[in-house]
Structure 1
Amino acid sequence: MDAKKHGLAAGDAGRPDNADWTIPQGWEHYTPQDHATWKTLFERQSRLLPGRACDEFVQGMRDLPIGADAIPEFDRLNEVLMRRTGWQIVAVPGLVPDEVFFEHLANRRFPSGNFIRGPHELDYLEEPDVFHDVFGHVPMLMNPAIADFIQAYGQGGLRAQQLGNLTQLARVYWYTIEFGLLQQGDGLRLYGAGIASSYTESQFCLDSPCPNRIRFNLERVMRTHYRIDDFQESYFVIRDLDELLEFTRIDFAPLYQRTQAAPALQPGDVLPQDQVFTRGDGRYHAARRKGH
């Protein structure tokens, strides 16, 4: 499992002077070990993702100045990204507070950690680092549908804060941008960054008999808790990336009211009305619970 990012508030430790929490990338300060860690992660995922990642992710990787030899320079990435979708990457020291996160997204700025994990943390990291953020997110930001959806999510997040509905909205981000699957002509494919940047979860989400794979339904997802400590128990499948744009045209206010009034759902729940691609056997998480 890899770094998990959902934009929920960070503490004030290490807070930079800038109100928007941005800092220089400091590319010149990366060590040879940092670049070697990037190379290990990059090559491992690049070998694994063909046939697993969606076509749009693969195309985004081809079109960006990203390679195995060194951690990418944000300025070079931004030249390409800005021309394609008007987005840019801004460096931050780690997770940022909700309002800062949403404000950046609403203005087509994607906050990325400027640090990289240690070689002993290849498979799990609590905070999103430059590999999770750049390798996992930036290829999809080259796609116009994702670019518009994430900006709309930032705008919606600022409104949800005022309404007290961040929990429901965070679930939408989690089960799409971080851990989403989509239907492709040749089968289910991953597009979520939390999966794309994780060696183990990019296999688990598509190959394991354990998790549920369920057709995405907005209200259902807004009611569903998620796992921040392990693989997901359920993955939700969208029709295609254009479906995300349809959500940006919906008035969320009545959805918030209905989902707040409805019982919350556990990550592994399957409902009678769910359209199920795969009903998982749940053995992995059951064994984990017994082990604890």
Structure 2
Amino acid sequence: MNTKDRDSIPPPHAAADWTIDQNWAAYREEEHQRWTRLHERQMEILPGRACEAFLEGLSVLDLHGEGIPEFKTLNRQLEAISGWTIVAVPGLIPDIVFFEHLANRRFPAGNFIRSEAEFDYIEAPDVFHDIFGHVPMLTNRVFADYMQAYGQGGLRAQNLNSLDALARLYWYTVEFGLIASANGPRIYGAGILSSPAESCFCLESRSPNRIGFDLMRVMQTRYRIDDFQETYFEIQDFNDLFEATSQDFAPLYKALEIAPDYPPGQTLARDRLIQVGDQTYANKTRLTLTH
């Protein structure tokens, strides 16, 4: 979830809602070329791994890899399809601002592109992650409605001490979600779709768990922010996701107050287990970190 301290104030060049001008004309040629290289690398990997909704969205939007897209042009296409627009922001934004944008069908996107040194991995979401990874999914009307419902839920939850649970939901769906298909699991989470290594790892490695989506279970599960995920949650379809998460979460938050948290790689007897991972990658990482 692209958030920071809710009490932060916007930088001087940003509006009160933290939006800024994309300033597309300021991108250097080398930055446009970097976008193209990132795009081409992912398009060698994602066919057969990404879900159809993502690939269809990619085909109807102007994201073909010939430089960083201009948000104004992209917005004309996206708004006509699903009523969403993209707004440029300077980086991480406060929770309340993030939720407000989503609730009004505005997707906040960073306007900067990673440096050459960060080509393979970047900690903060850049314009490639935000636009290539997230925006094609907003052409799917059900998923687009889910994103709006998530933002509305976030606004309702501001005083319910539930942001950790909401962050986990966003992480395991919008960023690292898998969806079932007739040909096996496919990727719809932007954190995977913009990562060449995790696009392969999540589907082909025996290390991670793959567990059927359950809202309470997701909200109880911690996640990794610094490496591949130890568990991925798989939805059946986007309608199920929308229906499960468009409800009033207040009773769920109450239940979570006394419910246990689970580490990222743990499986439970109640889980619908699609793959029980052997955790070889996670265990190797832990062993490396302790030596």
User: TM-score, normalized by length of structure 1?
Assistant: 0.96
Distance in 2, Cα, partners of 1:17 & 1:94: 11
Residue 123 of structure 1: CA displacement? 1.9
Which of 268, 286, 289 is 1:289 aligned to? 286
Q: Which has the higher contact order (CA 8 A, sep 6+)?
A: 1
Residue 249 of structure 1: CA displacement? 3.6
Distance in 2, Cα, partners of 1:205 & 1:255: 29
Helix, strand or coil for the counterpart of 1:261?
Answer: coil
CA contact (8 A) 1:7 1:95 kept: yes
Residues 1:253 and 2:250 aligned together? yes
Which of 36, 41, 47 is 2:38 aligned to? 41
Match of 1:91 in 2: 88
Q: 1:182 to 1:15 in 2, by over 3 A?
A: farther
Match of 1:273 in 2: 270
Match of 1:3 in 2: none
User: TM-score, normalized by length of structure 2?
Assistant: 0.96
Residue 248 of structure 1: CA displacement? 3.8
Match of 1:69 in 2: 66
Q: What is the 5 A alignment of 1:140-289? A: 140-289=137-286
Helix, strand or coil for the counterpart of 2:271?
Answer: coil
Q: Percent identity?
A: 55
Residues 1:102 and 2:99 aligned together? yes
CA contact (8 A) 2:110 2:125 kept: yes
Count matched residues: 287
CA contact (8 A) 1:15 1:21 kept: no
Helix, strand or coil for the counterpart of 2:192?
Answer: helix
Distance in 2, Cα, partners of 1:121 & 1:45: 16
Match of 1:8 in 2: 3
Distance in 1, Cα, partners of 2:14 & 2:130: 22
CA contact (8 A) 1:36 1:70 kept: yes
Distance in 2, Cα, partners of 1:75 & 1:251: 35
Cα distance per residue 1:76-117 (max 9 Å; x no partner): 110010001100000001110101100000000000000000
Distance in 2, Cα, partners of 1:54 & 1:230: 22
Residue 7 of structure 1: CA displacement? 2.6
Q: 1:149 to 1:24 in 2, by over 3 A?
A: same
Match of 1:121 in 2: 118
CA contact (8 A) 1:213 1:277 kept: yes
Distance in 1, Cα, partners of 2:157 & 2:184: 34
Q: 1:248 to 1:220 in 2, by over 3 A?
A: closer
CA contact (8 A) 2:10 2:16 kept: no
Q: 1:112 to 1:17 in 2, by over 3 A?
A: closer
Letter in 2 for 1:172: L
Residue 14 of structure 1: CA displacement? 4.3
